[in-house]
Amino acid sequence: MPTSSAETSRNDARAIAVLVMLFLFQTLNFFDKLVFGLSAVPMMKELALSPKDFGLISSSFFLLFSLSGMAVGMFVVGRFPVKWLLLIMAGIWSATQIPIFFSSSVAVLVLCRVILGAGEGPGLPTALHACYNWFPADKRSVPSAVVLQGISVGLLAGGPILTTIIVRYGWRTGFLFCGLLGLAWVLGWLIIGGEGPYSAAHAPDAAAKDKTLPARVLWGDPTVIGVIIMSTASYWIVGMSATWLPPYLQLGLGYQQLDVGWIISGIYLFQSPLLLGGSWLTQHLQRRGFSLRACLGHASGLALLAAGSALLLSIVTSGPLQLTCIAIAFAAPSLTTIFGPVALGAVAPAAQRGRLIVVIYSANAASALVSNALTGWIVGEAGSDAPLGYAHAMTFTAGVLIAGAVSAFAMIFPERTIARFAKTAQEPAASPVVAAKST
């Protein structure tokens, strides 16, 4: 018994250490994203880029983002230890940030952004999958929120830190700084990373571990489809936030570059308690007997509905109220990145969980490829009237968010999916009996 207790304590301590590293993984991820947006104005001036040009370059980041994520989800996750997958990803991030410091070529910038996107595509869903390997199903919402806190901290700390570096040492130095941070994370993960006790590889029941559902049943389920639509709508604004929020605040609203970094920090300071509080509440309600439908489906719909409504209100307000609406609009969709994967993890067999989450939450980033380019096009169409261009872009984005809310309310029914999948799993065993009776 003491040995078992000691082993449990070691596993708990290791789980916390892994969780911290996954949190830092996401922090680094959004440092890498934010540095491009914070460098937008000096970069556009030095390289003579128009808003349309900048939008196309920023969207190039997402050119292979979804494809690489789906490829990793379909052919890599489950076949190789997640420790090495995350290590390779972080190595790619560093290798593509550092060359920008030494080059003034737009071609080099685009190439590095494309490769960086390929490396970051599977990052978040793979990190969530790694997190689930260390925590049981009914205790995954809060750890998921901790991982996602890396996004908030990356934006919160990245705003003033990267802005100060860019202003004092030039925009290229910001990319160098991010590359060196990535190398430091790789060294830490080499020591701490590993497979958890709740991974499919450590499932105690070999039969349960090997049980899978037909692809048509798994991918054709309404809950899975609802999560796909909802997450795609959510990533529309998440994917454009790091690129377009800084120039919007500076060029659209007239703030100074140094002020923009602090404003972004203030906006995403709101995201931290929102993610932790929302995830704790839904996990608490779930353990108190509330349905997964209410805790995950309704919660996702409300988050996107609030975000879309706030974005529309931000167009017709000003000052602190406008910034509050922008904070809600850009922070609330991240809640769906907790609720969606938790819903998928609750309904999918262990052997298919990682693939399902990684593929869906990589493929949904295709919306960022469109949103970044389309936002640049809409802003550019307004000519010199930047506020009008951004108002049009935000109105369109609000419509996308509200459409995602409708899909969450209408389609995400985890309990029905669990019952449907259980019935499907039993059908092969029941068919011989039916055949025997018919004879």
Identity at 401, one-letter amino acid code? L
Average pLDDT of span 83-91: 91
Binned at pLDDT 50, 70 and 90, residue 21 comes out as very high
Q: What is the pLDDT of residue 184?
A: 93
Please provide the average confidence, as pLDDT, over all residues in the chain.
Answer: 82
Q: What is the pLDDT of residue 201?
A: 56
Whether the pLDDT of residue 198 is over 50: the answer is: yes
Q: What is the pLDDT of residue 200?
A: 59
pTM of the model: 0.70
Domains in the chain: boundaries:
8-426
For the beta carbon of residue 205, count every other beta carbon within 10 angstroms.
Answer: 9
Please state, in angstroms and rounded to a whole number, the distance separating the CA atoms of residues 35 and 162.
7
Q: What is the pLDDT of residue 365?
A: 74
Q: What is the pLDDT of residue 205?
A: 45
Binned at pLDDT 50, 70 and 90, residue 32 comes out as confident
For 33, 113, 207, 362, the CA distances from 38, given in Å and listed in that order, are: 9, 15, 51, 24
Binned at pLDDT 50, 70 and 90, residue 266 comes out as confident
Per residue in 127-186, pLDDT (tens digit) is 888 888 888 776 777 888 888 788 778 877 887 898 889 988 888 899 999 999 999 999
- Give 326-368 as a 3 state SS string: HHHHHHHHHHHHHHHHHHHHHHCCHHHHHHHHHHHHHHCCHHH
Please state, in angstroms and rounded to a whole number, the distance separating the CA atoms of residues 365 and 257.
28
Per residue in 285-295, pLDDT (tens digit) is 888 888 889 88
Residue 267 and residue 34 in contact, taking contact as beta carbons nearer than 8 Å? no
Which residue would you say has higher pLDDT here, 321 or 254? 321
Share of the chain above pLDDT 90, in %: 20
Binned at pLDDT 50, 70 and 90, residue 321 comes out as confident
Whether the pLDDT of residue 209 is over 50: the answer is: no
Average pLDDT of span 16-20: 91
Please, which residues bridge with residue 80 across strands? 77
8-426 to CATH, choices 3.40.640.10, 1.10.12.10, 2.40.50.140, 1.20.1250.20: 1.20.1250.20
Alpha helices in 170-298 (DSSP H): 171-192, 206-210, 215-219, 222-247, 257-269, 271-287, 292
Reading the block at residue 207, the tokens are: 């039969």
